[in-house]
Amino acid sequence: MFTTIIKRDGREASFNETKITDAIFKAAKAVGGEDRQLAMELTLEVMKTLKKRFNGGPFTVEDVQDIVEKILIEHGHARTAKAYILYRGQRTRMREARSDLMDAVAEILVETNRDNANIGNSPSAKMLQIASAASKQYYLARVIPENMAQAHIRGEIHIHDLDFYGKTLNCIQIPLDKLLQNGFSTGHGHIRPPKRPTSATALAAIILQSSQNDMHGGQSFGFFDRDMAPYVEGATEEETYQAMEALIYNLNSMHSRAGAQVPFSSLNFGTETGEAARKITRNLLLAYEKGLGRGENPIFPNLIFRVKEGINLNPGDPNYDLFKLAIRVAAQRLNPTFSFMDASFNKAYGTEVGYMGCRTRVMSNRLGPEVTSGRGNLSFTTINLPRVAIRAERDLMRFYQYLSEMIDLVCEQLMHRYKIQAALKAKDMPFLMGQGLYLDSEKLQPNDPIEEAMKHGTLSIGFIGLAETLISLLGYHHGQSEDAQALGEEIIAFLREKADKAADKYNLNFTLIATPAEGLSGRFVRLDRKEFGIIPGVTDKRYYTNSFHVPVDFPISVFDKVRIEGAYHKYTNAGHISYIEFSSPPVNNQEAIEAVLHHMKDSDMGYAGINFPIDFCTSCDYLGVIQDKTCPICGGTEIRRVRRITGYLSTVDRFNDAKLSELKGRVSHGLSGYIYPDE
């Protein structure tokens, strides 16, 4: 009767009615039917309708599928129709995934995707990004349940590191002491324990690189000063300095992931009072202060200085001199950032709490010891808070109902991912599990599933855009009103309570994280603007404000910003960070910076940093703030501009468009009430 059909791409193909019968029969089998004769009879009904509707004229694949659905329903086969519709939808998603993938590959071949500011533009980086794009489409189309995949695609949630969904874990605080004491293998023979500082730091860099190759997130040493101390006993200051300088050089040049990036490395230190550990802290800070070979600002490692009363916070404390040195270096180089061991949620653990540059914190543990080393975040998924608020239309009851539903969905998705990860074998992560980095992984054989080790990690619910959420609900954000601040705390407390209940329900370490949103900050607002239009104060910028932060373009004093944001750290037990912003390096205002750090500690912050511009002319090595496109000394145009992005440092040329827009909007925070030393 018919000879041709028009395919979706516009081409003509031979018409074959058997394909209609096969599709109906498959749908019937999916709901328990086995009657091929009935499928053939229904196909005849489809053919009659095609003849009547098109009378010999051209028709498309979509036309045929619409008629099949209609015939199935009209003839009383609703369950078969539903199965057919689901199958049709799945095939559509697969086609769209292939099309989206090809578009993504074409874009990547021009320039590497900038969703991650640590990924370069090398051939290896391009290949990694192409593989990443293919992997994301595979997981969304074939692995992740439909309701979860669609929530991600629509921008209601964001599944972080989707390309690694079922392949590996996020991050880890590496037990450096264990690896250096026992030696380790990267797959080509055993590396024996070091004896001198230089060999110890060389091995530390190799450990970070090897672990990064097994994971998609950050690599951190939770106790760098303590774990490295045995290898500087008897070493001179010069030898120790050379070792720390070599470590910094290596971590800014040693690539992982087939050459696509340097490791996301963090070092925690500052509270060990033994002389060897003090020597390490002192020389690490001095080497970082000096910079790279021509004075450039190091990007890695992220330095995290632990602060604690009685150890280093006040004059008379044994490490107070190191605290002062850390402030001096931070005022020039952006690092170190500062973690506060006396925060209400950290104090019970003494000096045990470690952070990562991205803000991740892993501490409490339902299934084992509450320690930092050997544990990390398994995965996290972020809720689009502003979208929940927009949908609620200023109805708080409706807002909490929608939010509760979204949290439940995220918890189900995190569990879905957990079960896939748990089925991985130890041999799938040869360094992470094979060398005993993860807690209890030394008990695993190569073919054992990794759940007995990975259960010590965390599953985290994230959020973004509290400021825009409050504007959507109230008309103003928490930097503008105490009422908004009260509601903001209530919302984040609600999120934390739901996370705690999920931990009880699943008996796993569910936690709440103040999401480090890099590419996500632009993705969510882009999708929301498309669906809801431009909403003043909400979707009218190119980014949503990170986590619970006061908007970067809102004029506010340092002390008010710290007070407001400090209230949220206690809820976000999976990690948090706050910043203060200056227009230039505060090298002449170190006393004021010390006062700010005390205020951060008094405001119950757990982790914080200081932001300002650092520009470097690659032609004449001038270091300073370069406002113009050319160097004020030599007129050179090759300017290396270093800024902080979601916790880590990066160069501005690697920022994505949303983060560039946020960077341009940042305003400096005044130190009202404090006298500058040079005035």
pLDDT digits (tens, 9 = 90+) for 137-174: 888 988 999 999 999 999 999 999 999 999 999 999 99
Instruction: Name the token pair of 386.
Output: 């502003």
Residue 544 DSSP SS3: coil
Are 546 and 332 in contact, with CB atoms under 8 Å apart?
A: no
What's the CATH code, domain 146-171+362-576?
3.20.70.20
Average pLDDT over all residues of the chain: 91
- List pLDDT tens digits, range 192-236: 999 999 999 999 999 999 999 999 999 999 999 999 999 999 999
68 or 676, greater pLDDT: 68
Among the listed ranges 113-122, 269-278, 640-649, which one has the minimum average pLDDT value? Answer: 113-122
pLDDT at residue 653, as a whole number: 86
Distance, CA of 27 to chain centre: 40
Cα–Cα distance measured from residue 225 to residue 46, given in angstroms and rounded to the nearest whole number: 75
Q: What's the full length of the chain, in residues?
A: 679
**159: enclosing H helix or E strand:** strand 157-159
- List pLDDT tens digits, range 458-500: 999 999 999 999 999 999 999 999 999 999 999 999 999 999 9
- Under DSSP, the state recorded for 188 is S
In the numeric block, the tokens 């970070």 are attached to: 208
The torsion angle over the Cα atoms of residues 267, 273, 279 and 280, rounded to 10 degrees, is -10
Task: Kindly give, in sequence order, each residue whose CB lies less than 8 Å from that of residue 580, ignoring residues fewer than 6 positions away.
Answer: 558, 561, 562, 596, 608, 610, 611, 669
Cα–Cα distance measured from residue 659 to residue 670, given in angstroms and rounded to the nearest whole number: 23
Distance, CA of 116 to chain centre: 9
Task: Kindly give, in sequence order, each residue whose CB lies less than 8 Å from that of residue 441, ignoring residues fewer than 6 positions away.
Answer: 374, 426, 432, 433, 434, 450, 453
Cα–Cα distance measured from residue 314 to residue 554, given in angstroms and rounded to the nearest whole number: 32
pLDDT at residue 517, as a whole number: 77
Q: Are strands 4-6 and 623-624 parallel, antiparallel or unpaired?
A: unpaired
According to DSSP, the residues that pair with 14 across neighbouring strands are 4
- List pLDDT tens digits, range 395-416: 999 999 999 999 999 999 999 9
pTM, two decimal places:
0.84
**Sign, CA torsion 90/91/94/100:** negative
pLDDT at residue 674, as a whole number: 41
In the numeric block, the tokens 């709440």 are attached to: 512
Q: Are strands 172-174 and 219-221 parallel, antiparallel or unpaired?
A: parallel
What's the whole-number mean pLDDT along residues 332-348?
98
pLDDT at residue 99, as a whole number: 63
208 half-sphere exposure, CB direction, 13 A CA radius:
30
Among the listed ranges 89-93, 252-256, 269-273, which one has the minimum average pLDDT value? Answer: 89-93
- List pLDDT tens digits, range 513-541: 999 877 788 999 999 999 999 999 999 99
According to DSSP, the residues that pair with 268 across neighbouring strands are 304
What's the whole-number mean pLDDT along residues 665-674?
72
pLDDT at residue 84, as a whole number: 82
pLDDT at residue 49, as a whole number: 93
Give the model's confidence band at 600: pLDDT under 50 very low, under 70 low, under 90 confident, else very high: very high
Amino acid residing at 379: S
Q: Of 608, 629, 633, nearest to 621 (Cα)?
A: 633
pLDDT at residue 138, as a whole number: 83
Classify burial at 664, counting beta carbons within 10 Å of its beta carbon; exposed 0-12, middle 13-18, buried 19 or more: exposed
In the chain, where are the structural domains located? 1-143, 146-171+362-576, 173-349
Instruction: Name the token pair of 365.
Output: 């543990």
Amino acid residing at 360: T
What's the whole-number mean pLDDT along residues 440-452?
98
- Sheet containing strand 614-617, edge to edge, reads 623-624, 614-617, 639-645, 648-651
- Strands of 369-416, DSSP E: 377-384
Task: Kindly give, in sequence order, each residue whose CB lies less than 8 Å from that of residue 133, ignoring residues fewer than 6 positions away.
Answer: 101, 104, 105, 108, 113, 163
Cα–Cα distance measured from residue 362 to residue 339, given in angstroms and rounded to the nearest whole number: 13
pLDDT at residue 105, as a whole number: 63
Residue 606 has pLDDT above 70, yes or no: yes
Say what percent of the chain tops pLDDT 70. 93
Cα–Cα distance measured from residue 572 to residue 346, given in angstroms and rounded to the nearest whole number: 12
What's the whole-number mean pLDDT along residues 27-41?
87
- List pLDDT tens digits, range 286-337: 999 999 999 999 999 999 999 999 999 999 999 999 999 999 999 999 999 9
Cα–Cα distance measured from residue 154 to residue 365, given in angstroms and rounded to the nearest whole number: 34
Q: Of 331, 283, 324, 323, nearest to 305 (Cα)?
A: 323
In the numeric block, the tokens 């007129």 are attached to: 635
Classify burial at 212, counting beta carbons within 10 Å of its beta carbon; exposed 0-12, middle 13-18, buried 19 or more: buried
pLDDT at residue 2, as a whole number: 85
Instruction: Name the token pair of 281.
Output: 């802290």
**521: enclosing H helix or E strand:** helix 520-532
Alpha helical stretches, state H, 539-635: 558-569, 590-602
